[in-house]
Structure 1
Amino acid sequence: MSSWRDGLYTLNNDMTVLQKVANEGFNGPIRILEDAERNIWVSHIGNPSHLTVIAPDQKSFRNMVDTEDYTIGSVPKIFEDSKGTIWATALQQEPKILGFNLKTNTVQTLDKENGYNSFGRLFEEDDSGRLWIFKQDSAYILSPDKKRSKSLATMGNVAGNNRMGDIAKDSKGSIWLGTHNRGVELIDPNGALQESLDVTNGLTSDAVWSIEETSRGDIWLGTNGIDIYDPEKGGIKTIGPQMLKHGKPNTIYKIEEFEKDRIFISDEKGFSVFDRDRDRITYYGLNASFRGTVRDFLIDDNKHFWLATNSQGILVYDTEKGMVKKLKVAGSLLPGSQSNKLVEDGSGNYWSITGQGLVFINPKENTVQKIGESEGLISKDVGAIMLRNKTELWVATTGGLSVIDLAAQTITNFGKEEGLDPIVIYELTQRNGIVYLGSENGLIRVQAPANKEDPWFFYNYGTAQGFEANDYSANASALLKNGALWLPAGPETQINVLAPEAGVDTTSQRIRITGISILDQDRSFASFAKYEPLLKEKDTLWDPDGKNYYLKGTLPPDTNYVSEHKIQWDSLPFPFTLPLGLKLPYDQNYLRFQYANLSVFNRDKIAFRYMLEGNESTWNYPGNKSESKNYFNLPPGRYTFTVETREIKGNWGNPATYAFSILPPWWQTWWAYLLYAIVAIGSIWGIVQYRSRQLKRKNRLLEEKVALRT
């Protein structure tokens, strides 16, 4: 035990002997930790400030004091990681974290040179071996090899009013962070915690406009030159302005390997083709009449380059003849002088972004069609386009998302009413059938439904998931062969790297049906009659208010609503007391159901769907509302209420079901119908007997008349 004023004490197992540990001059212990080797670490505040390490036999100790290599200062927090390193916060003029390893007798220092710039208050290690150091309003995350780091903003502060929050990791690896002003914050270390790449990693500039992974496995980045990143070695090489024949730094807008080892490179003055086999760059400059920045390109069947430019519309360049001309369709220029993107739709047709919306070009028929708001596009201010599944063209705009069905020639728009927020979209990319939208404030994951009647699912990644840069650049992302997504984003442009997905998420969301309302009222199904068989002699059962108790055989009769209306059930399982085997009278057929998603993460993205089998055959989609609609005048019969919840990847989880039945009125029961049948048969028999007697009587009278006449 530590006493800040009196020092360190030990208490024996019988809790009868309290003994002070002698350590002259060090009487301000504030933290105690026993490591995996049973050494006891004690941090002190005082003069001098230091760490004390007590041997497992408690017969010797050593004081970790200041050296030439490090200064300890006051240590308010100590933590042991899975490798046996003891991490300690050093409260000095400059924030530092010290890592002590007794096995290797080494000390590691984290300071501003490692990107650490604030006092660490809480520590935790995730299941991947990353060390999380929580500062006042953010987390400093150190990679398992302790060579790379990143920061993650927290929603609350971990300290305030001279009090410190606490931290814990649960069995699923989730980190629970107690904050001073926002309650408990839950962090999923296995979620989308992306890495980033910027000038601190060796880039020429943080402004990255194009990314391309080549057939050789390296990654080319268009900045104020070209940076070539080697993922295996982690190094960066640069192709400067001299090699590109610019003479001065020049923004590289487009890099694409269009044939093996042949790379297209565009800039503000023209474009180049780099032949890696020959190690030669061929520069194709545009003449004074056609000056403009090349933003994208296509190569047609004639090997001509179609160039999308920012001021000259679309240019067609014959590299063999060195001729360039503006694209004209049916004798006229394309609408708008700006073109930022070119996409071929698989049918030989081209789609392009202009300043007036979207343009559809049919090169074979030499026709063009402008598609803007009047044609159904959600906005004419288009930032990016993308072909998906060879059947859909996705259009990102400042007013939302438009999806064009190329076969049906229809446009479906998505804005805030459809769940898309924010609606200003600059970038489109896809991975494993999932589309990602780069918006003005975060990355949005889009799950298109397999059934067209189902709603679309949008999930936002932002600062809470570790995305420091959230204003995405247009037409600049890349999907690498390893499944990682590289996405340039601002405001101070850097590359966000979204790690490969671990595969299909098979974790079933926890959903429960929690209640049922009858005639628009919540009903209690607690019943003394149900408890009677469970009580033993001398057992007591108390009222909910705790004022009265009952013994076996003395329970009062039930007088609540369900007993008065003869509602039947078999049992009440814990904890939701939803009756199993429920049988409702025919006049108690106005119902509503409550349900809940029990997951603690991403509660702002919870969505439900439900269906009452026996009454309907299609799903209802209430969004995040945890209550069903009212079901009126349900006829007698068997029913099953089924509800599902959707997880982060858009998949519907395992359903929760609740079966019940509505009993018919007595006049619709089997015995009533049997009685009806008996009465009917008896009536028919009686009528037949009556008619038979009448006929016999008439026959007898007739015979008598005949006899009298003869």
Structure 2
Amino acid sequence: MRNGLIITAIICTLLGHTNMAVAQQPLFKNYTANDGLISNAIRRIFQDSKGFMWIATWEGLSKYNGYNFKNFNTANGLSQNLVNDIYENKNGQLYIALNSGDIDMLDGNRVMGKAVACTAVVNRFITSPTNQVIALTDREGILELSNGKMVKPAQSFPAQTYADLIWLSDSLFIASDENSLKAFDRHFNLLTQTLVGDNKYHETKLYQDSKKRIWLGTYTGLKLMDGVPGKNRPSAFAPLPAAFAIPELQQGKINAIFEDAAGTIWFGTTDGLVKINTDGSNQLLTVKNGLSSNIVTCLMEDKENNLWVGTAVGISKIVTKGGVRLYPIENGVSSNDNLFLLYPFKKDHFLVSTNKGTKIFNANTGQFSATARDGKAWRGVVPATAPPLFFSSGNLAAFDTLTSSFTSKQELPSLAVSKIAGDKNGNLFLSDMEHLYFSSGNTLVKILNYRISSLLVDQQGDLWAGTWQNGLFRIRYTFTRNNFIILAKQHLLPYQNTRCLFEDAQQNIWVGTRYHGVYRVAKNNGGTLAIAGFNQSDGLTSNFIKAIRQDARGNVWVAFYQGLDKLIAEGTSFRVFNFSKVNNYYASVIGMETDSARSIWLATGEGLAHITDGNMEKFAPLPVYITSINTPDSTYPLNANNIQLGHLQNQLQFEFSSPGFINERQLLYSYRLTGSASAEWSKQGNQHTVSYASLNPGHYIFEVRNLGWNGAWGKPAAFTFTIRPPFWQTWWFITIAFFCGVLFIYQFVKW
């Protein structure tokens, strides 16, 4: 479709960017020529049966194996650089449709030459419900790839150019050309057509979603077909549903349409990526949100449900299972001396401290709105107060959800209050920078002479006070007749710099520290306490803990300054899952909270982050493949096995990878070479290449395996080879030499 390519190229050059401010945005991972991609101008994205990604561009073909790009163009065998589409046969061989009309074959990492004889330019390969492989062409109608040959079935329009085709059933499909929509039966007989003229359907994209709606992406926006066309029943169009009747889908060119596994429908346009959620809400994602370019050319969902977005300036990937959603706030969540406000005052609504005052955040819409102005900068909520009290410098107040204002204000004692907590009787515990006090009415009693970092009144009514550098105190008290009495006081973790406290659903107390990670203080039946610690030696990313919370599944989340770890209960202990590392999510964390569903929310220096956990710690190991086998002078086919090498070919290099793309840099491998001096499995790491030198003659098996995020090792990939000994070490040479020696000695003695 040469004319279409020229038009697309002009659009890619001339169109500017349209930005639209949105509240929620996903995390993008971008890949460009700087990362090794052969070209930034993306045309198609394809995943093969093993799981590796193939990217068709204007300047060649790239294979992405999870750690680098293997590129193909005319310099290493392709007939032309401009790639239209890719098809894989049952043997794992790839057919590469080029805009020159050639179809090349790739087997492994090698260009094998022409796959089939073809004189037509193939624009698309499409597989029917009955596994019939159809090729859409320029001016040659529809071809069929059958038994390794291109054949042209009898058809109504043998010289037509087709842009796209979708099968509506195993006996009906519709196709778009420059001037019309045509409906055919499976024998390519025309049932009906709708003529529009003026190239209105030029490069039209066709898509049928899970609700059987038929969408058309055109140069003039989105169209919805009214029902299914049939014999003598031409195509008609219906009004767009309200969720889709938005300017972003009605004013520009639609290049791609895709519905993901969750039912979200994505539209690739020349003004960005449009997302229509299942609830009808919509969002425009542009370069402002991290997209590589506003000109989206293709969409593809891989086997892990990651969404790959091809653009005019590279690829953007959205990890849908990661479950991190961002809600930016200008200058982030406001905090002062580790005090901040992130409080769920009702379902799906939070009070949030910002540098422009306290805001109400609606999690359903992702929007922020102002509270009624009262001139106060509210610094946090008082734990264990009902109804909840909020404090600022010198004041307490309740929050009226009807008027969105802070009411019933009262003054605090004349202290520079830095931390505050309350009990179920309405008493308060206050700290300044040097002391801890009990406060009730006019009663003010000094309890401790330490700088307090965190306060908690547990479900049993005991006070827990974490100090800046003098450990943790547990205080049992009573207050009757204006008399505060300490019944018992325990000093725990005396040399720890505590930073946060949390009580879980099992009434364990969790203590976050500055230098030694997190401690769990469990209450035994006999009244004793059992303390267990978790730190970097146990797998934590950081020993500096900012906040601790528990989700609805009982997992304990630990926030450090730049991200999150997750503690998963296993037996009597916990397994550490490095959530931020796996999800590639890092932020300047201020604090953490849970909503009414006990879902995790972060307050950060960039805004809010909602952690809708995908339970990736349960993911089993992926298949691992050996992707390259080399000696200094040779490269061996990937399907070769038990190769025989000469004694001088005793240096081998292996490359390997697992086609997992949630976070390629966090996939861990281990390998070994059986038959070598050390046949032990290597230490796990994100290493994809290993070399062996000066191998002795013998029989070897190279094995590599992948570690799943569930902590289990997968099945190893193996390669067998033999290094032959030099001829003077072979049995026949030694035998001949032995008899020659015997004969020589015999002749010498006889002489």
Provide the TM-score with structure 2 as the length reference.
0.51
**Residue number among 582, 586, 590 corresponding to 1:473 in the alignment:** 590
Supply the distance in 1 between the matched residues of 2:447 and 2:707 (Cα, whole angstroms): 49
Deviates more, 1:147-156 or 1:127-136: 147-156
Unaligned runs of 5+ in 1: 22-28, 45-50, 67-71, 200-206, 532-557, 566-590, 631-638, 661-710
Offset, 1:594:
9.0
Offset, 1:478:
0.9
Question: Which residue in 1 is equivalent to 2:708?
Answer: 647
Residues 212 and 256, structure 1, Cα contact 8 Å, conserved in 2: no
Question: Which residue in 1 is equivalent to 2:211?
Answer: 83
Question: Which residue in 2 is equivalent to 1:636?
Answer: none
Offset, 1:487:
2.8
Supply the distance in 1 between the matched residues of 2:588 and 2:173 (Cα, whole angstroms): 49
Q: What CA deviation, in whole Å up to 9, does each residue of 1:46-96 have, x standing for no partner? A: xxxxx8544554654153999xxxxx999775544333445566768xxxx
Offset, 1:185:
5.7
Residue 192 of structure 1 pairs with residue 192 of structure 2: no
Supply the distance in 2 between the matched residues of 1:449 and 1:626 (Cα, whole angstroms): 32
Aligned positions of 1:12-411 closer than 5 A: 13-14=152-153, 31-34=163-166, 36=168, 40=174, 42=176, 52-54=180-182, 57=190, 59-63=192-196, 79-85=207-213, 87=215, 98-103=222-227, 105-108=238-241, 121-134=255-268, 139-149=273-283, 151=285, 157=292, 166-170=298-302, 173-178=305-310, 187-194=318-325, 196=327, 209-212=341-344, 219-222=349-352, 227=360, 241=372, 247-248=374-375, 250-251=377-378, 253-254=380-381, 262-272=387-397, 283=408, 285-287=410-412, 289-290=414-415, 292=417, 296-299=420-423, 304-307=427-430, 314-318=436-440, 322-323=441-442, 325=444, 327-329=446-448, 333-335=449-451, 339=453, 341-342=455-456, 348=462, 350-352=464-466, 354=468, 357=469, 359-363=471-475, 364=486, 375=495, 382=499, 384-386=500-502, 393-395=510-512, 402-404=517-519, 406=521
SS in 2 for 1:604: helix
Q: Identity of aligned pairs, percent?
A: 12
Amino acid at match of 1:395: G
Residue 509 of structure 1 pairs with residue 622 of structure 2: yes
Offset, 1:324:
5.1
Largest Rg, 1 or 2:
1
SS in 2 for 1:623: coil
Offset, 1:169:
3.3
| TM-align CA RMSD | 6.6
Supply the distance in 1 between the matched residues of 2:691 and 2:508 (Cα, whole angstroms): 37
Question: Which residue in 2 is equivalent to 1:420?
Answer: 541
Supply the distance in 1 between the matched residues of 2:703 and 2:547 (Cα, whole angstroms): 38
Offset, 1:449:
9.1
Offset, 1:141:
2.6
Offset, 1:368:
6.7
Asked which structure has the greater RCO (Cα within 8 Å, sep 6+), the reply is 2
Residues 257 and 268, structure 2, Cα contact 8 Å, conserved in 1: yes
Question: Which residue in 2 is equivalent to 1:446?
Answer: 566
Aligned CA distance change for structure 1 residues 644 and 342 (closer, same or farther; 3 Å): farther
Question: Which residue in 2 is equivalent to 1:499?
Answer: 612
Q: What CA deviation, in whole Å up to 9, does each residue of 1:164-220 have, x standing for no partner? A: 8544334554444445665x6654433325375989xxxxxxx98222376xx6755
Amino acid at match of 1:325: L
Offset, 1:112:
7.6
Supply the distance in 1 between the matched residues of 2:600 and 2:206 (Cα, whole angstroms): 37
Residues 400 and 406, structure 2, Cα contact 8 Å, conserved in 1: yes
Supply the distance in 2 between the matched residues of 1:299 and 1:195 (Cα, whole angstroms): 34
Amino acid at match of 1:351: A
Q: What CA deviation, in whole Å up to 9, does each residue of 1:656-706 have, x standing for no partner? A: 49899xxxxxxxxxxxxxxxxxxxxxxxxxxxxxxxxxxxxxxxxxxxxxx
Supply the distance in 2 between the matched residues of 1:116 and 1:414 (Cα, whole angstroms): 53
SS in 2 for 1:124: strand
Aligned CA distance change for structure 1 residues 172 and 250 (closer, same or farther; 3 Å): closer
SS in 1 for 2:224: strand
Structure (1/2) with the larger strand percentage: 2
SS in 1 for 2:465: strand
Offset, 1:334:
2.2
Question: Which residue in 2 is equivalent to 1:429?
Answer: 549
Aligned CA distance change for structure 1 residues 8 and 42 (closer, same or farther; 3 Å): farther
Aligned CA distance change for structure 1 residues 561 and 447 (closer, same or farther; 3 Å): farther
Residues 343 and 593, structure 2, Cα contact 8 Å, conserved in 1: yes
Supply the distance in 2 between the matched residues of 1:457 and 1:478 (Cα, whole angstroms): 19
Offset, 1:394:
4.5
Offset, 1:602:
1.7
Supply the distance in 2 between the matched residues of 1:559 and 1:655 (Cα, whole angstroms): 27
SS in 2 for 1:622: coil
**Residue number among 599, 604, 615 corresponding to 1:489 in the alignment:** 604
Number of residues of Structure 1 aligned to a counterpart in Structure 2: 528
Aligned CA distance change for structure 1 residues 324 and 610 (closer, same or farther; 3 Å): farther
